[in-house]
Amino acid sequence: MLSKQSRIVLDTLLPSRAHPTLKYGVFDAGFNEFWAEFERTALPSLRWGLRTAVFAATWIAPLLIHRLPPLTLHDRPTRERALAAMALSRFYILRQLFVVLKTTVCFCYGADPNVRDAIGYPLQHDDPRRQVS
């Protein structure tokens, strides 16, 4: 089960209704279900990598823009600035943790059929929706 803080971090990273043709955010793409599967089936190193990345985004990223942690104290523009600062941090480990965060989120988001449709990914011959129709 995702904590409220984790949800806010991930929703800041990939929000809903942020673009007219791509309305889906990470939680519209079934991230709750993905997280449960991820916790059950991913290697411990992957799971801990993601948890550490969320922790760093929550507690360290705000400090990079001279704001107090946790990230969840702040409004969305401030949270976005903090995460952007983490992505561009001079500390390699923070940049890498941000990559872990984005990559893991995309394992879910990029696999979502609605997202794929919205970005122009072609319907595959073995897509279950094609077989149903």
Q: Please enumerate in sequence order all residues whose Cβ is within 8 A of that of 105, keeping only pairs 6 or more positions apart, or say none.
A: 10, 13, 14, 26, 31
Residue 122 makes contact with other proteins by CB under 8 A: yes
Scanning residues 45 to 104, which ones bind other proteins (CB under 8 A)? 45-46, 49, 76, 79-80, 83-84, 87-88, 92, 95-96, 99, 102-103
Look up tokens 């800041």; give the residue: 12
Which residue stretches of the chain are H helix?
A: 4-13, 31-41, 44-59, 61-64, 76-87, 92-109, 113-119, 128-132
Distance between CA 125 and CA 67 in Å, rounded? 50
Nearer to other proteins, 4 or 120 (CB): 120
CB of 54 to other proteins, least distance (A): 14
Residue 1 makes contact with other proteins by CB under 8 A: no
Residue 131 makes contact with other proteins by CB under 8 A: no
Q: Which residues bind other proteins (CB under 8 A)?
A: 12-15, 18-19, 21-22, 25, 34, 38, 41-43, 45-46, 49, 76, 79-80, 83-84, 87-88, 92, 95-96, 99, 102-103, 105-111, 115-116, 118-122, 124-126
